[in-house]
């Protein structure tokens, strides 16, 4: 089959998943569905849980990772205020959303030691230095006001960091594995990140990747390289993420490059250049390390972003047509933020998910889990 036809074939072959997932929009074309007012966080959780149930109905050990969206793991103050005051006993603010926690095997975090983490450290240092500066006596009152403001801001940042650390500890207790992708700007930053992450209970991949494209396949021997077969997320000691394969001119070159590596876990895009679906045989080849033992291969799936290169895209679509295409993403050409709670978009996700499972992947990494922030009222209650 020609590469350009693979996306169309993928769509036709897997067009029935909405039935399996109870996403019935595909079964009733032309129906205008009444849309309840969405609870934006809950809608994302429901989609993750539904896809996880489907994957495990096909393969009991199917792995579900989520990339970002840490706030979805616990109940927010906003959600508590939106609940009906009917006297029912309710989960407290900050309580874990246990059905969501149990649907997820692992949480992927970006930049716990590089990138944004370094920026936070720099801001904290600058704030501390400003507090040390002695103001002239004539401005003593204003200096005191400003110092108090900065101390309050410093305390707020520290509290947020402590809350995040505590939540991650709770997730580890619940059996959620933590993974980190470190996008470092220089080899020196990468070396620093290795030192920082060495003592954490977190599986990290550390890259010199200032572009953040995740388009490199490194065949060099990885730290903690493992010759044993790996069939569970908990057994993985190393992982590699390759989400952009466009530097490989041919799909065969892309797949062959994986055969030169010994990582325990690969996270990839199931489509070469976002357009041409990999095959079952190609996924099967990727599931074996260079030493010949089995490893895990997961595919990415974005829950809240439609892309013009993807197999499902209709050239006639425009923002607002269909209605679930909400807004373009300025930093990514051809990408559109979607109203992810809409039944038609759920149907698209259903087709995509079935296709990935049919390809034989061991699981998925779900992305776009912070999109609720773009739809919630910008002035939180």
pTM: 0.84
In the predicted structure, residue 54 carries a pLDDT above the cut 60: yes
151-210 pLDDT tens trace: 777 677 777 778 888 999 999 999 999 999 999 999 999 888 888 888 788 999 998 887
> Do the Cβ atoms of 33 and 18 come closer than 8 Å?
no
User: pLDDT higher for 18 or 346?
Assistant: 346
**Could you tell me which residues come within 8 angstroms of residue 139 by beta carbon, excluding any fewer than 6 positions away?**
none
Region 232-239 average pLDDT = 97
pLDDT for 200 equals: 82
The SS3 of residue 174 is coil
Question: How does the average pLDDT of the chain come out, rounded?
Answer: 85
Domains of the chain (ranges; CATH) run 3-27+50-83+91-116+168-375 (3.20.20)
User: pLDDT higher for 47 or 83?
Assistant: 47
pLDDT for 306 equals: 98
pLDDT for 26 equals: 44
**Could you tell me which residues come within 8 angstroms of residue 36 by beta carbon, excluding any fewer than 6 positions away?**
none
Q: What DSSP element (H or E) covers 161?
A: helix 140-173
| Per-residue burial over 26-37, b = 16 or more CB atoms within 10 Å of its CB, e = otherwise | beeeeeeeeeee
Q: Name the pairing type of β-strands 335-338 and 305-307.
A: antiparallel
Region 219-229 average pLDDT = 82
pLDDT for 25 equals: 37
Paired residues of 205 in beta bridges: 181
- The pLDDT-based confidence of 48 (bands split at 50, 70, 90) is very high
User: pLDDT higher for 86 or 121?
Assistant: 121
What percentage of residues in the chain have a pLDDT greater than 70?
Answer: 80
306-317 pLDDT tens trace: 999 999 999 999
Q: Which of 99-103, 223-227, 336-340 has the lowest mean pLDDT?
A: 223-227
Q: Which of 238, 191, 244, 253 is nearest to 216 (CA)?
A: 244
pLDDT for 119 equals: 78
How many C-beta neighbours within 10 Å does residue 228 have? 13
Q: Which residue has the tokens 């019935």?
A: 24
pLDDT for 196 equals: 86
Number of alpha helices (DSSP H) and beta strands (DSSP E) in the chain: 12, 13
Region 14-32 average pLDDT = 42
> Do the Cβ atoms of 129 and 147 come closer than 8 Å?
no
Rounded distance between C-alpha atoms, residue 288 and residue 264, angstroms: 9
- The pLDDT-based confidence of 21 (bands split at 50, 70, 90) is very low
Rounded distance between C-alpha atoms, residue 164 and residue 170, angstroms: 10
How far is residue 195 CA from its own chain's centroid? 25
User: pLDDT higher for 127 or 263?
Assistant: 263
pLDDT for 138 equals: 55
97-134 pLDDT tens trace: 999 999 999 999 999 988 877 777 776 666 666 656 65
pLDDT for 246 equals: 81
- The pLDDT-based confidence of 34 (bands split at 50, 70, 90) is very low
How many C-beta neighbours within 10 Å does residue 97 have? 19
User: pLDDT higher for 216 or 143?
Assistant: 216
Q: Which of 201, 203, 162 is nearest to 182 (CA)?
A: 203
> Do the Cβ atoms of 231 and 205 come closer than 8 Å?
no
pLDDT for 310 equals: 96
- The pLDDT-based confidence of 90 (bands split at 50, 70, 90) is confident
């Amino acid at each position: 089959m020609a590469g350009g036809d693979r996306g169309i074939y993928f769509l036709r072959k897997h067009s029935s998943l909405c039935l399996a997932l109870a996403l019935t929009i595909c079964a009733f074309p032309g129906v205008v569905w009444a849309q309840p007012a969405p609870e934006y966080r809950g809608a994302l959780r429901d989609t993750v849980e539904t896809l996880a149930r489907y994957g495990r109905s096909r393969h009991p050990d199917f792995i579900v990772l989520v990339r970002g969206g840490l706030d979805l793991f616990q109940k927010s103050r906003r959600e508590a205020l939106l609940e009906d005051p009917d006297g029912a006993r309710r989960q407290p603010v900050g309580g874990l959303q246990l059905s969501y926690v149990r649907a997820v095997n692992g949480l992927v975090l970006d930049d716990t030691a590089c990138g944004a983490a370094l920026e936070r450290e720099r801001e904290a240092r600058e704030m501390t230095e400003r507090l040390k500066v002695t103001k002239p006596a004539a401005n003593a009152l204003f200096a005191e006001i400003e110092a108090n403001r900065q101390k309050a801001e410093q305390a707020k940042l520290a509290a947020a960091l402590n809350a995040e650390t505590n939540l991650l500890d709770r997730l580890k207790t619940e059996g959620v594995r933590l993974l980190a992708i470190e996008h470092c700007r220089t080899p020196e930053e990468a070396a620093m990140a290795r030192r920082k992450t060495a003592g954490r209970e977190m599986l990290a991949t550390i890259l010199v990747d200032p572009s953040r494209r995740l388009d490199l396949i490194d065949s060099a021997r990885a730290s903690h390289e493992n010759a044993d077969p790996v069939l569970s997320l908990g057994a993985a000691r190393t992982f590699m993420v390759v989400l952009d394969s466009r530097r490989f001119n041919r799909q065969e070159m892309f797949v062959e490059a994986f055969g030169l590596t010994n990582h325990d876990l690969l996270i990839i895009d199931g489509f070469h250049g976002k357009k041409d679906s990999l095959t079952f045989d190609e996924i099967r080849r990727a599931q074996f390390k260079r030493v010949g033992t089995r490893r895990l291969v997961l595919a990415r799936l974005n829950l809240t972003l439609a892309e013009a290169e993807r197999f499902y895209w209709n050239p006639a679509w425009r923002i607002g047509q269909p209605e679930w295409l909400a807004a373009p993403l300025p930093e990514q050409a051809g990408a559109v933020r979607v109203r992810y709670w809409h039944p038609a978009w759920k149907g698209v996700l259903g087709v995509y998910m079935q296709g990935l499972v049919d390809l034989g992947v061991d699981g998925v990494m779900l992305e776009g889990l912070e999109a609720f922030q773009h739809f919630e009222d910008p002035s939180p209650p």
